[in-house]
């Protein structure tokens, strides 16, 4: 009985221990399960929070990349549109510039052509006027020569061989001749300053004024002329200089030099200047080497022209 009781006690104790351990195991399991659930929830909460942050950051990056891509694509689109628009505008501007350039060039060419035509017309008119004045002057000169020959003058060209100075100057010259000898006059003329004349013409003029026949020849140059008829001839000193320089026959040159001498005597306030005598002296020097122009009659005409400037040429060196 005692063994049976001991066995029962031991069995009861074992059963109780098994129940207790089972209860404890279930409690531990429940506790462990609760802890695991809490840990899992905590981990899940943390992961979800972390995931939300990751997703948010990723979304921001993706959106930023997408925005940049969209902006880049839009800018490219706008640039393509602008390039097309600018190309159209540039084509229109180039066309406008081309039209403007063509208009300016056409206007400039027309203006240049008009200017050249005006210059040619002016030059032609000037030449025609010069030729017309020369022709009319020669015709008037011939008529004047014929008129002079009809009133008994010694030769036709004397119409342009008017006295080189006023009566007072001629009387003074004759008085000088009467008071002194030819040798005294030559000594006086030897001191005259004619350095502005060409050398050949200066020597020729000195020989002319120092000659013994000069006083009588100069006194014989005095005669009357018709002022109205001379004014009707409409002589111009520059035209006569041009005709004297360019003419090819001695008669025209002789007419031009005598006509210039007549203008110097008639209008001394306009033509009796040192500038005029120097210009004509240079032209005379150019015509001296031409034998068909430089005849004895032409030489006399040129010397009498220079003598019309006697008060300028016969300037004492004292």
- The Cα–Cα gap between 117 and 106 comes to 16
Q: What is the mean pLDDT of the chain?
A: 78
pLDDT at 160 over 60: no
The more confident residue out of 54 and 183 is: 54
Q: Out of 194-203, 231-240, 257-266, 276-285, pick the least confident.
A: 231-240
pLDDT digits (tens, 9 = 90+) for 109-151: 999 899 889 888 888 888 888 788 777 777 777 776 666 565 4
DSSP string, 240-297: HHHHHHH--SHHHHHHHHHHHHHHHHH-HHHH-SHHHHHHHHHHHHHHTT-TTT--HH
Instruction: Give the tens place of pLDDT for each residue, 223-253.
Output: 455 555 556 666 788 888 898 999 888 888 9
Q: What is the mean pLDDT of residues 257-262?
A: 88
Q: Is 155 helix (H, G, I), strand (E, B) or coil?
A: coil
Domain ranges of the chain: 153-313
- For 191, phi then psi, to 5°, come to -100, 10
The proportion of the chain whose per-residue pLDDT surpasses 70, expressed as a percent, equals 78
Q: What is the pLDDT of residue 194?
A: 67
Apex 148 CA angle, 142 and 152, nearest 5: 140
pLDDT in tens, 172-209: 444 444 444 434 443 344 334 467 788 888 888 889 88
Q: Is 290 left (phi over 0), alpha (psi -120 to 50) or beta?
A: beta
pLDDT of 71 reads: 93
pLDDT (average), residues 69-90: 89
Answer whether residue 312 shows pLDDT above 60: yes
């Amino acid at each position: 009985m005692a063994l049976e009781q001991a066995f029962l006690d031991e069995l009861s104790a074992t059963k109780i221990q098994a129940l207790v351990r089972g209860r404890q195991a279930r409690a531990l399991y429940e506790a462990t399960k609760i802890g695991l659930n809490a840990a899992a929830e905590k981990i899940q909460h943390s992961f979800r929070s972390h995931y939300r942050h990751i997703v948010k950051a990723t979304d921001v990056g993706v959106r930023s990349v997408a925005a940049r891509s969209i902006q880049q694509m839009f800018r490219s689109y706008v640039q393509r549109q602008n390039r097309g628009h600018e190309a159209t505008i540039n084509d229109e501007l180039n066309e406008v510039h081309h039209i403007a350039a063509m208009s300016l060039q056409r206007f400039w060419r027309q203006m240049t052509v008009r200017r050249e035509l005006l210059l040619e017309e002016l030059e032609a008119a000037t030449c025609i006027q010069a030729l017309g004045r020369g022709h009319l002057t020669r015709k008037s000169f011939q008529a004047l020569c014929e008129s002079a020959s009809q009133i008994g003058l010694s030769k036709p060209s004397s119409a342009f061989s008017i006295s080189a100075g006023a009566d007072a100057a001629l009387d003074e010259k004759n008085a000088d001749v009467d008071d002194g000898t030819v040798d005294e006059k030559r000594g006086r003329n030897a001191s005259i300053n004619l350095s502005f004349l060409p050398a050949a013409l200066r020597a020729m003029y000195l020989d002319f004024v120092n000659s013994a026949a000069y006083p009588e020849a100069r006194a014989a140059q005095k005669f009357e002329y018709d002022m109205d008829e001379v004014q009707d001839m409409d002589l111009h000193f520059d035209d006569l200089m041009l005709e004297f320089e360019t003419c090819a026959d001695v008669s025209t040159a002789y007419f031009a030099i005598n006509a210039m001498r007549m203008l110097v005597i008639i209008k001394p306030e306009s033509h009796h200047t040192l500038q005029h005598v120097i210009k004509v002296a240079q032209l005379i020097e150019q015509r001296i080497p031409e034998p068909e122009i430089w005849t004895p009659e032409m030489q006399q005409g040129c010397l009498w022209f220079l003598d019309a400037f006697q008060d300028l040429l016969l300037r004492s060196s004292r």
